[in-house]
Amino acid sequence: MRRAGVFPADALEMSCDAPGVPLDESNLVMKAGRLMERELGRPMPWHVRLVKNVPHGAGLGGGSSDAACVLSALNELEHGGLSRRRLAELAGEIGSDVGCLLYTSPSPRD
């Protein structure tokens, strides 16, 4: 079984173990990555590998959760220094539920 995670790459890219998941700019993960590129003013040289446990398109928030995780992960990996509040503001550009998912885990910065 392949592990999910964020790994060094030449540019922002993603893969997924579930068939039918779009890997282009329509995916919330890619939208999150592009937001971080815009916010930090630099490319995000990372490969995001998804392992889906929530069925694609089931309406259970799996994609939103993935996007929230990517915002947090890239902020840490890139030493972005963005507060959770700022990340939630960015998340709101993706979808209203993405921001609330940032608050489900502890963070050193609020």
CA–CA separation, 52 and 62 (whole Å): 8
Spatial contact of 101 and 61, defined as CB atoms under 8 Å apart: yes
Overall pTM > 0.75: yes
Buried b (16+ CB within 10 A) or exposed e, 16-38: beeeebeeeeebbbbbbbebbbe
H-helix or E-strand spanning residue 32: helix 28-40
From the first residue on, what is the mean pLDDT of each consecutive set of 10 residues in the chain (110 residues)? 84 93 95 98 96 69 87 96 94 91 60
pLDDT value at position 96?
87
Identify the pLDDT of residue 83.
95
What local confidence, expressed as pLDDT, does residue 93 receive? 95
Contact predicate 68/107, CB 8 Å: no
Tell me how far CA of residue 67 lies from CA of 26, 35, 36, 93, 96, in angstroms: 12, 10, 11, 11, 12
Q: Can you give the pLDDT at residue 45?
A: 97
In this prediction, residue 12 carries a pLDDT of: 98
pLDDT of residue 110: 45
Q: How many residues does the chain have?
A: 110
